[in-house]
Structure 1
Amino acid sequence: MQWNELKARLLSAGSARISGEPADEYIATSSAGPGAGGRGSVFFAMGSHRVKLSLNPSSPVEIVHRGDGVADLCFAGTQIPGRLARPGLHCPDQAFITVTESCIFSCKYCSVPRLAGKRKSIEEIVGLVDSVKDRISAISLTSGVAGSVEDEEAYVCGVIKNLTRFGLPIGVSIYPTKKTPDHLHALGVVEVKFNIEAATPKLFEETCPGLDYATIWQALDRSVELFGKGRVFSNLIIGLGETDAELAACIEKLVARGVVPVLRPLNPVAGFAGIPRPSPERIRAAYLVHSRALAAAGIDPLVAQTMCTNCAGCDLVPGRD
C-alpha cells in the first residue's frame, strides 16, 4: 500500500489508541480549531512521512509504543513499523502556539468558543518558545478573537516583535483585516494562512456566521503580492456539505491565485458532531486534484517553512505524501 493511500485511510479514521510503553512525551495537545480540548494526539512517522492522530481508546487504529519512540501502527490487519515523533509545541519541529484560546465567533466546526480559554501573555509565549528552541526550526502562531479582530491583530503583532529574537522563520494564521498582510509582512513574517474554510460562499455563510468571506479573499490576494506564490495558505475543509465539483473548483481558484490550499478532513465536533468523516477515497481524490493544480501552477509545497503545510500531519500534502 502506498503511503498516501494509507494516510488517507488513517485521516478518515482520525484517531488511534495507544498501548505499550508510556508515551507522555510524545503526546501533543491542541488549544485551537476542531481538536481543542481533546485527549491530545500523537504523530506517527514512517521515514520522512508523518500523520497526526487524535487519541481515542475506542479507535480501530492502534499504535504500540515499544519505548524510546519506536512504535508499530496496527490497522486493518497490517502492522507498520515506525516511530512516534516528539512534538516541539503542538507539532514536531515547530513551536506552534495559540495566542488566544477563546473566540467571539462561533464557526460550526470549531470547539474553541465553548472552551472559553485564556489569552497567553507575551512573556509566557516567549518562555514557551525558549523551552523548545533547541528542537524546532520554525515558529507558527494562530489565535482566536478575544474582543475584536483589530485588537487581536495588534496583540499578535506585539507577540511577533518579541519572538524575532530567536532568529527563526515565523508563520501566522489569524482572522485578517484588509491591512493584516501588510502589517505582518512589515514585521518580517515569512508565511501567512488566512482560512476560507468552506468551498462555497453559501457554505461559508452557514458555517462561519459573522465572518466576511470577501475580506479573507482580499487578504489572500494581497498576501500573494507581498509574500509570493507558495508562501500563502488557506484551510479548505473537506466534508462541510460541498460537492466534489465545488471542492475541485475552490482548489483551482485558490491555486490560480497563488495560494496553497490546506485540505483538512472534517473533524466531526461542535456543530458537526455525529457527521461522518470524509472517506479515504474522497480524501485521496481531493489530493489528486490538489496535486495536479499545484503542479500546473508551478507551486511547490515543499518550500513551506512553517505551519500546517510544513508539518503535514493533519492533511495529505502534495510533494510530502
Structure 2
Amino acid sequence: MQWEELKARLLEAGSARLSGEPADDFIAKSTAGPGAGGKGSVFFAMGGHRVKLALNPASPVEIIHRGDGIADLYFGGRLISGRLLRPGLHCPDQAFITVTGRCIFSCRYCSVPRLSGKRKTVEEIMDLVESVRHRVSTISLTSGVLESIEEEEAYVCEVIDHLKFFGLPIGVSIYPIDHTPDKLRALGVAEVKFNLEAATPDLFATVCPGLDYDLIWRVLDRSVELFGKGRVFSNVIVGLGETDEEMEACIDKLTSHGVIPVLRPLNPVAGCAGQPRPTAARLQKLFAKHSYALSRNGLDTGSALTMCTVCGGCDLVPGRDE
C-alpha cells in the first residue's frame, strides 16, 4: 500500500488508540479548531511522511508505543512500523500557538465557543516559544476572537512584535479585516492563512453565521499581492455538504488566485457532530485534483515555511504525501 492510500484511510478513520509504553511526551493538545478540548493527538511518521490521529480508545486503528518514540501501527490487518514525533507546540518542528482560546462566533464545525478558554499573555507566549526553541524552526499563530475582530487583530500584532525577538519565520492565521494583510506584512510576517472554510458561499453562510465570505476573498487577493504566490493559504473543510464539483471549483479558484488550499477533512464535532468523515476514496480523488491545480498554477507546497502545509499531519498535502 502506498503512503497516499494509507494516509487517506487513516484520515477517514481520524483517530487511533494508543497502547504500550508511556507516551506523554508525544501527545499534542489542541486549544483551537475542531480538535480543541479533546484527549489529545499523536503524530505517527513513516519515513518522511506523517499523519495526525486523535486519541480514541474505540478507534479501529491501534498504535503500540515500544518506547523512545518507536511505534507500530496496526490497521486493516496490516502492521506498519514507524515512530511517534515529539511535538514542539501543537505539532512537530513548530511553535504553533493559539493566542486566544475562546471565540464570540459560533462556526458549526468548531468546539472553541463551547470551551472556557483564555487569552495567553505576551509573557506566556514568549515563555512557551523559549521552552521549545531548541527543537522548532518556525512560529505559527492562530486565534479565536475574544471581544471583536479588530481588537483581536491588534492584540495578535502586539504578540508578533514581541516574537520577532526569536528571529524565526512567523505564520499567522486569524479572522481578518480588510487591512489585516498590510499590518501583518509590515510586522515582517512570512506567511498568512485566511480560511474560506467552506467550498461555497451558501455553505459558509450556514456553518459560519455572522462572518463574511466575500471579505475573505478580498483579503486573500490582497495577501497574494503583498506576500507573493505560494505564501498565502486557505483552509477548506471537506465534508460540509459540498459536491466534488463544488470543491474542485473552489480549488481551481484559489490556485488561480495564487493561494494554496489546505483541504481539511471534517472532524465531526460541535454542530457537525454525527456527520460522516469524508471517505478515503473521496480524499484521494480530491488530492489528485488538488495536485493538478497547484502544478498548473505554478504553486509548490515544498516552499511553505509555516503552519498546516508544512506540518501536513491533518491533510493530504500534494508534493509531500506522494
TM beyond 0.5: yes
Partner of 1:108: 108
Partner of 1:195: 195
Partner of 2:75: 75
The CA RMSD measured in Å over matched residues stands at 0.4
Q: TM-score, normalised by structure 2?
A: 0.99
Please tell me whether residue 246 in structure 1 is matched to residue 246 in structure 2: yes
Partner of 2:25: 25
Letter in 1 for 2:74: C
The answer to whether the 8 Å contact 1:232/1:258 transfers is yes
| C-alpha separation in 2, matches of 1:199 and 1:138 | 29
1:52 match: secondary structure: strand
Partner of 2:172: 172
1:82 match: secondary structure: strand
| C-alpha separation in 1, matches of 2:29 and 2:161 | 25
The answer to whether the 8 Å contact 1:51/1:314 transfers is yes
| C-alpha separation in 2, matches of 1:141 and 1:63 | 29
Partner of 2:304: 304
Partner of 2:261: 261
Partner of 2:207: 207
Deviation by residue 1:115-149 (Cα, 9 ceiling, x = unmatched): 02100000000000000000000000000000000
| C-alpha separation in 1, matches of 2:307 and 2:73 | 25
1:12 match: secondary structure: helix
Partner of 1:38: 38
2:79 match: secondary structure: strand
Please tell me whether residue 57 in structure 1 is matched to residue 70 in structure 2: no
| C-alpha separation in 1, matches of 2:248 and 2:214 | 19
Please tell me whether residue 7 in structure 1 is matched to residue 7 in structure 2: yes
Alpha-carbon distance, 1:186 to partner: 0.3
Alpha-carbon distance, 1:20 to partner: 0.5
Partner of 2:229: 229
| C-alpha separation in 1, matches of 2:95 and 2:12 | 26
2:283 match: secondary structure: helix
Alpha-carbon distance, 1:10 to partner: 0.3
Alignment of 1:92-131 (within 5 A): 92-131=92-131
Deviation by residue 1:235-277 (Cα, 9 ceiling, x = unmatched): 0000000000000000000000000000000000000101110
Deviation by residue 1:212-235 (Cα, 9 ceiling, x = unmatched): 111110000000001011100000
| C-alpha separation in 2, matches of 1:276 and 1:311 | 24
| C-alpha separation in 1, matches of 2:36 and 2:257 | 31
1:128 match: secondary structure: helix
| C-alpha separation in 2, matches of 1:35 and 1:115 | 12
Deviation by residue 1:143-162 (Cα, 9 ceiling, x = unmatched): 00000000000000000001
Q: TM-score, normalised by structure 1?
A: 1.00
| C-alpha separation in 1, matches of 2:211 and 2:145 | 11
Letter in 2 for 1:308: C
Alpha-carbon distance, 1:191 to partner: 0.2
Letter in 1 for 2:212: D
1:144 match: secondary structure: coil
Letter in 2 for 1:224: V
2:28 match: secondary structure: coil
The answer to whether the 8 Å contact 1:195/1:236 transfers is yes
Please tell me whether residue 158 in structure 1 is matched to residue 169 in structure 2: no
| C-alpha separation in 2, matches of 1:32 and 1:290 | 25
Partner of 2:47: 47
Please tell me whether residue 86 in structure 1 is matched to residue 122 in structure 2: no
Q: How many residues align?
A: 321
| C-alpha separation in 1, matches of 2:83 and 2:116 | 34
| C-alpha separation in 1, matches of 2:100 and 2:284 | 33
Letter in 2 for 1:61: V
| C-alpha separation in 2, matches of 1:291 and 1:303 | 15
Unpaired segments of 5 or more residues in structure 1? none
Alignment of 1:284-295 (within 5 A): 284-295=284-295
Letter in 2 for 1:166: F
Partner of 1:275: 275
Deviation by residue 1:167-209 (Cα, 9 ceiling, x = unmatched): 1000000000000000000000000000000000000000000
Identity of aligned residues (%): 72
Which ranges of 4 or more aligned residues in structure 1 deviate by more than 6 Å? none
| C-alpha separation in 1, matches of 2:284 and 2:101 | 32
| C-alpha separation in 2, matches of 1:305 and 1:17 | 31
